Structure 1
Amino acid sequence: MVDLRPVLYTLGSLIALLAVGMSLPTLADFVVDNPDWQTFAIALCLTAMIGGMLMLSTRGSGENLNLKQAFLLTTSAWAVLPAFAALPLAFSELDLSYTDAYFEAMSGLTTTGSTVITGLDTAPPGILLWRGLLQWFGGIGIVVMAVAVLPMLQVGGMQVFRVESFETAEKILPRAAQISGLISGAYVAFTSLCMIAYMLSGMSAFDALVHAMTTISTGGFSNSDSSFGKFDSLSTDTICLIFMILGSMPFILFLQVIRGRPLALWRDEQTRGFLLLVAFLCVGVTIWLMVFKNFTLEEAFRYGSFNIISVLTGTGFASADYSQWGAFSASLFFVVMFIGGCAGSTSCGMKIFRFQVLLKSMRSWIEHTLQPNGVFIARYNGRPIPDDVRASVMSFMTLFLGIFLILSFGIAATGEDWITSLSSAGTAIANVGPGLGDKVGPAGNFSGLTDAAKWMLSFGMLIGRLELFSVLVLFSPSFWRV
């Protein structure tokens, strides 16, 4: 039987930290005399009480987690925290149902960016700040998990990064906790720089703060129903584009740059592949909009690059309704949403490195088929790709597509059309945000879906954010055996 005490103690600590975060929107609403400050205060006290009780009742249970406990904590944290984060949303003046509030909170903490809230332009500042904080907390949580937890759990090929993170040959600092602390510092620094840049481009301080948090976390929550279309500014769009790209690159490599290895980012095969893909998509979409949609060069680059990279990185901001650009753009955006950014970033999707591992493995198999007596070794970052990494990557990608299809059929069973079903399922499991079509596209939101569909999509966001196996392993009877 799994000893739950260390898991509950750590979970209690995370719940208590979430309560501390609620103090900021409480103060924001109190300053402007919005009655929702009382809702946040009550939710804060309730959350802090439960978190504190869990910590006190399991105190002294030990700090080290074994493999099973790590799996259980990873999933329970991302499933339970939205339940508490939803409380101020459910009881605020927005008058959301608990289903809608949980969906919004899950979308925030998983940095998905799908929303059920309308009237964001006139929403209370506390709610807007809380949505931004949820994505910001979720973003740093994902980065730390990708560095310290997923390589240990060997989820979906992530063990390939265990060498770079912790083995002696490539170790940056001696302990994972120190690495996580430095990554958090870089995360805060990028957020601050993004906020300052937004303010210089003309944003108000509050808008700049919230959008900086949701940009660097590649989350995509905005303070306006029209997202970045509200600002209609080339400089603002460009700043967002730059920081979306930065947020989608491995944060651990930024530490190497700071420590005197300025070419670390470019020498990393994953980052190099990601940047080349970004350049290819920006140029390709720009040319396509100019040739087939009669956009000017500036319009094509500004709207095309911003929106395609927003989808690729899983941020989900929109500066235009790209679902109205025709069938080709809809198909391209739909495919791109599954790719995602780099492992070790706040981005989502399948991740660039898995496609690279798959392509290198296919190439070595083809070469071996043509020359059976030859020795062909697939390499990643100069190292041979272990067989277990290849198997993990292929299993992950197969399972990812399988769950996507199951989730799509589940949404369709609630009465939705296939465009809505496929795109909403894809955007949930890939943690992107907006889907396609009039209902869940960049000009709409998810409020029109049934409660059953929202719960299914909430599970899809959870399982997609935690790399599938971290969640599914809990459904195995053998996991719970001694």
Structure 2
Amino acid sequence: MRFNYQVIINIIGLLLMLNGVFMLLCIPFSMYFGEGDLIAINWSGLITICVGAILWFVTKDLSNKELKKKDGYLIVTLGWVSMSCFGALPYILSGAIPNFTDAFFETISGYTTTGASILTDIESVHKGILFWRSLTQWIGGMGIIVLAVAILPILGIGGMQLFVAESPGISPDKLQPRIKETAKRLWLIYVMLTGMETVLLWVGGMTFFDALNHGLTTMATGGFSTKNASAAHFSPFIQYVMVLFMFLAGTNFTMTYFGLHGQFKKVIRNEEFRFYLGTCVLLTAITTFAISLTSDTGFEQSFRDGLFQVVSVVTTTGFVSADYTQWSSFITILFFIMLFIGASAGSTSGGVKIVRHVILLKNSILELKRQLHPSAIIPVRFNRIAVPRDITFNILAFIMIYISIFSIGSIVMASLGVDLETAMGSVATSLGNVGPGIGSVGPVDNFAHLPMFGKWFLAFLMLLGRLELFTVLMLLTPYFWRKL
């Protein structure tokens, strides 16, 4: 199979142009606060738009508009990398992060909604740059690829291959038969919930700028904050609002769609949603009880801190209301395990995802039954539907590869001189797109002190996690590049 390089370059150009337009949205904040970042943002946006326009213009007369599956995987990966390279320009040109390694790390952490940061004093960064930092997470949350899917049909290019490449393994539910309509409805829900949270946070006492930034990064399950203390800087009411919207952001958007249309029976009957809700409730109860045993804080604060941190980590958002590594060793281990959970498929969260854990658990239990009844045909059922064997094998392969990458990654980071706890924590949180980990990259720490190669390696793991392993790993195999 030959690659359609003309259409690949054309779409990358389109993505860069969209990226540049988003950069220019930061201009009103730069002008209003007048902190000296206006020129840097202007130039960053114009450079990105111009480069994208050149790529798009030279390939606009497409002789072959067919987009094959291989092309889709290549576009998604190259799209994220190219957007991250150009997305680092505002940091570099403004002097906020003059080092390209650090700027790229911060940018890809934004686009992949990981939330790992190298900034040591967030509040000293200019407001226009801070807004761009939050905007990278909002763009990456739903995926600028999905946004492009709604535009590509205008160019006469089908977008299904991009949507599949964005969510490999578990096929996302379609709200409408046409992929274009699906993308539009997903973005409508995304924008609406972002607006609702922004208003509630503003009413709750945040400044409009802080409310907007946290609305963007909460719905993206990203976790970038405008304050050094993250969510701990704000009132209990604001923290409860953030918990609600983190939970919604970690819910399958199809279930959110049903809920908004009053179809609550479909939501309650959904097996993944029940496990997701039950996991958050159980872990919150355990954490609250453990905090109350080791701390003299009142029940309400113990419950709020436990609830906030559990939802934040399970949904891979990464906001911080308290340092969970200081509560007890038991809680530290518990939260380390949470780095591997993830929320719902079809949400903006990262991680392994609840649906994979459930199907793996069910398949493991059925294997015990098959040992007693070797001739019996007992399918794995999810939402009362038999799961095809190829999906089960895909999940088993995914989890095996995920654990292997975590193990190898921890060895790589430890070989760079990083202590074992930090090595494991940094790899787990980067691969799961969570943000805070354990060790010296815990909830109140950052990634600035890590060696340069370690930052590039973790950036690669962030991309792997965001694109759910297979999309990127396939590009590293000789078979992918072989002409068939």
Q: Please give the range of the TM-score, normalised by the shorter of the 2 chains.
A: over 0.9
- Change over 3 Å in CA distance of 1:126–1:470 after alignment to 2: same
Does residue 1:280 correspond to 2:292, yes or no?
no
Partner amino acid for 1:9? N
Query: Aligned ranges for residues 121-160 of structure 1 at < 5 Å?
Result: 121-141=123-143, 144=146, 152=164, 157-159=169-171
- Aligned pairs for 1:297-312 (under 5 A) are 297-312=299-314
Give the structure 2 partner of residue 94 of structure 1. 96
1:252-291 → structure 2 map (5 Å cutoff): 252-259=254-261, 261-291=263-293
Residue number in structure 2 paired with 1:443 = 444
Specify which of 107, 111, 114 is matched with residue 113 of structure 2. Answer: 111
Write the deviation string for residues 202-256 of structure 1: whole angstroms up to 9, x where unpaired: 111000000000001100000011111111x111110010000000011122223
Corresponding letter in the other structure for 2:169: G
Whether contact under 8 Å (2:441, 2:447) holds in the other structure is yes
| Equivalent residue, structure 1, for 2:353 | 351
Pair 1:292–1:424, CA change in 2 (3 A): same
User: 1:27-106 alignment to 2 at 5 Å?
Assistant: 27-61=28-62, 62-106=64-108
Give 1:469 shift. Answer: 0.6
1:454 — aligned with what?
A: 455
Larger deviation: 258-267 or 97-106?
Answer: 258-267
CA distance in 1, matches of 2:348, 2:69: 24
| 2:123 and 2:228 in contact (8 A); partners too | yes
1:169 maps to none
Tell me if 1:214 matches 2:246: no
1:95–1:429: structure 2 CA closer, same or farther, 3 Å change rule?
closer
Tell whether 2:176 aligns with 1:173.
yes
Q: Name the counterpart of 1:189.
A: 192
Deviations 1:333-353 (A, max 9, x none): 111011100111001100000
CA distance in 2, matches of 1:42, 1:401: 42
Tell me by how many angstroms 1:86 deviates. 0.3
Structure 1 spans left out of the alignment, 5+ residues: 166-171
**CA–CA separation in structure 1 for the residues paired with 2:305 and 2:375:** 51
Report the TM-score when normalising by structure 2: 0.94
SS at match of 2:264: coil
The residue aligned with 1:12 is 13
Contact 2:48 2:86 in 1 (8 A): yes
1:223 lines up with 2:235 in the alignment: no
Given that 1:12 and 1:54 are in contact with CA atoms closer than 8 Å, whether structure 2 keeps it comes out as yes
Number of aligned residues: 471
Alpha-carbon separation, structure 2, partners of 1:63 and 1:185: 28
Q: Is the 8 A contact 2:315 2:350 kept in 1?
A: yes
State the SS of the aligned residue for 2:94: coil
**How far off is 1:155 after superposition?**
6.6
In the alignment, structure 2 segments of 5+ residues that lack a partner are 150-158
CA contact 2:229–2:320 (8 Å) conserved in 1: yes
State the shift of 1:276 in Å.
Answer: 0.8
SS in structure 2 at match of 1:462: helix
Summarize deviations over 1:268-290 as a string: whole Å, max 9, x none. Answer: 11111101111111111111111
One-letter amino acid of the structure 2 residue matched with residue 201 of structure 1: G
Query: Which one of the candidate residues 420, 423, 427 is aligned to 1:421?
Result: 423
- Aligned with residue 244 of structure 2, among 242, 251, 263: 242
Contact 1:157 1:390 in 2 (8 A): no
Is the deviation greater in 11-20 or in 119-128?
119-128
The SS at the match of 1:158 is coil
Q: Name the aligned partner's letter for residue 46 of structure 1.
A: I
Of all paired residues, the percent bearing the same amino acid is 35
RMSD: 1.9
Structure 1 position 27, deviation (Å): 2.8
Give the aligned residue type for 1:481.
R
CA distance in 2, matches of 1:143, 1:4: 18
| C-alpha distance 154-89 of structure 1, shift in aligned 2 (>3 A) | closer
Aligned to 2:333: 331
| Preserved contact between residue 150 and residue 158 of structure 1 (Cα < 8 Å) | no
* Cα distance in 1 for residues equivalent to 2:145 and 2:14: 19
Tell me the CA shift for residue 96 of structure 1.
2.8
- The answer to whether the 8 A contact 2:113-2:137 is kept is yes
Gap change, CA 1:143 and 1:303, over 3 Å in 2: farther
1:204 is aligned to 2:216? no
CA contact (8 A) 1:155 1:469 kept: no
Contact 1:143 1:346 in 2 (8 A): no
Query: 4+ residue stretches of structure 1 with deviation over 6 A?
Result: none
Superposed CA deviations along residues 309-345 of structure 1, whole A, max 9, x for unmatched, are: 1111110100111111121111011110111001110
Shift of 1:29: 1.2
Distance 2:272 2:425 in 1: 27
Secondary structure of 1:349's counterpart equals: coil
3-state SS of 1:138 partner: helix
Q: How has the CA–CA distance of structure 1 residues 135 and 377 changed in structure 2, closer, same or farther, with 3 Å as cutoff?
A: same
Deviation at residue 152 of structure 1 after TM alignment: 3.7
CA drift at 1:387: 0.9
CA positional deviation for 1:373: 3.6
Shift, 1:122, TM fit: 2.5
Deviation at 1:262, TM superposition (A): 2.7
Whole-Å separation in 2 of the counterparts to 1:349 and 1:343: 10
| Paired position in structure 2 for 1:25 | 26
